[in-house]
A and B are shown apart, each in its own frame.
Chain A
Amino acid sequence: MVKTSLYDQANRYGAEPGGGAPTKAKITFVDSHGQARTVEGETGSTVMETARRNDIPEIPAECGGACACATCHVYVDEAWVEKVGKPSQMEEDMLDFAFDVKPNSRLSCQITVRPELDGLVVTTPSQQG
């Protein structure tokens, strides 16, 4: 997977309804070694796409965002679990193929960046695939 193609796809599919310029939300990715990287995500795109566009490590997202591979697994910081919400049934099923799943596990391709998620913190597991 390469960031340019996902970026293009995000533009194609993730445009904001109403044609308004997308707003930004800050997202912090903490890798499995504890290193934090804060980047800006566009509302309407997904947390996974935001990671790929910004070269965030440990999120290969092999299937490109189809909720079909469980390689964009993240742990949502406890303070954000409620705001981010629970996984759908389809996502729960796919989480069976992720490693070390915890109650705060989500697939980042299924979290849409929204203004109220500004400041979101997620941690990546040591192994995705």
Chain B
Amino acid sequence: MSETIETDALIVGAGPAGLFAVFELGLLDIRAHVIDILPRAGGQCSELYPEKPIYDIPGHPLVTGQGLTDNLLEQIKPFNPTFHFNEMVETLTPTGTPEQPSFEVTTDAGTKFKAKVVFVAAGGGSFQPKKPPIAGIEAYENKSVFYAVRRMEDFRDRDVVIVGGGDSALDWTLNLQPIAKSLTLVHRRDQFRAAPHSVNALQELIAAKKVDFRLGQVTAIEGADGELSSVTIRGNDNVDTVVSAHRMMPFFGLTMKLGPVADWGLNLNENLVPVDTEKFETNHPGIFAIGDINTYPGKLKLILCGFHEGALAAQKAHRYIFPDKKLLFQYTTSSTNLQKKLGV
């Protein structure tokens, strides 16, 4: 049994809304832990469009998804949040009263939290690998079909098929080729959207016939008891070829699933969490929802709205956490108290 981590605020989701909530809570002396299923901060910004420019962040005529994430991390540094990456919140159990809320939270990694308020900033839910529509693939998943490499040794001396043409597909082709018995790369076109040095290295391996590159897609798999024996590749010329395969890795990016949020007793409206527009609180006192995951009349799924929502939710959170303290509204430009917290 792991120890329970006690915190004032627990933020579910390290996208822009969750990160800026750390800032707004921090100004009010509320310390936060942040959980995210991804291995890094940034949410959709870092995962879906790290290089794409965003033009509608106030004060930033142009910033990339990764640039915005980096800036937010810099901005919240004074409040020293604790991040728990690669973890997904599974259960959220209320243990307090409406006046003095308290929650027990557990993650899929077994981490336990006790929090006074919870900010659900989970965007479209948790990111999970896209699973290709191949009949019967479930029976092979995590036995011989993998969406991520946990142990490279699982691929040694095996016939390996990798599907896709992005960075993940190329990185694992380059990494596994030296230890695999054979490596077949299947992609729909002969262009790769990956780092240039990876593409060059791959072209050399293909030219040296160390990687068998096939234009097309995997349409069927064969095997028994979860162990693959071959896959059928339908070429772009519509000709089917059966290739020996012990291991297959499809890399089609990530998709968002609402996941366990649906089981937390929150009202849901088409997979979104309804909130009021004064405090951005859910139907459960002490649980707030900010950013893309919430809904209210007039809601816009814009990053700037997530920032605003976090600021207002933090005010109400302060009343739960410090019921006896009067909240004075202050500006960072003029308040020496706030500036001290920011370390400036």
Which residues does A use to contact B, with CB under 8 Å?
1-2, 4-6, 8-9, 12, 62-64, 66, 68-71, 92-93, 95-101, 126-129
Contact = CB atoms under 8 A, between A and B. Distances in A.
Contacts of A5: 295, 299-301
A126 B300 CA distance: 29
A8 B295 CA distance: 12
Contact of A97 (B52, B133, B191, B253): B253
B188 A96 contact: yes
A24 to B, nearest CB: 24
Contacts, number: 75
B301 A99 contact: no
A66 B300 contact: no
Given A2-B271, A62-B256, A96-B166, 16 more contacts: A2-B295, A12-B300, A62-B124, A62-B255, A64-B301, A66-B48, A66-B49, A92-B189, A92-B191, A93-B193, A96-B165, A96-B188, A97-B166, A99-B217, A101-B188, A127-B133
- Chain B interface size, under 10 / 10 to 19 / 20 to 34 / 35 or more: 20 to 34
Contacts of B189: 92, 96
A110 to B, nearest CB: 13
A113 to B, nearest CB: 21
B84 interface: no
A111 to B, nearest CB: 19
A99 B133 contact: yes
Interface in B260-302: 269-272, 292, 295, 298-302
Contacts of A2: 269-272, 295
A97 B130 contact: yes
Interface of B: 44, 48-49, 52, 124, 130, 132-133, 164-166, 187-189, 191, 193, 217, 252-253, 255-256, 269-272, 292, 295, 298-302
A98 to B, nearest CB: 8
Nearest to A68: B48
Given A68-B49, A96-B187, A129-B255, A63 B44 contact: yes
A122 B130 CA distance: 23
Contacts of B292: 64
Contacts of A12: 300
B48 A63 contact: yes
A126 B133 contact: yes
Nearest to A97: B253
Given A5-B295, A62-B124, A63-B44, A96 B164 contact: yes
A69 B255 CA distance: 7
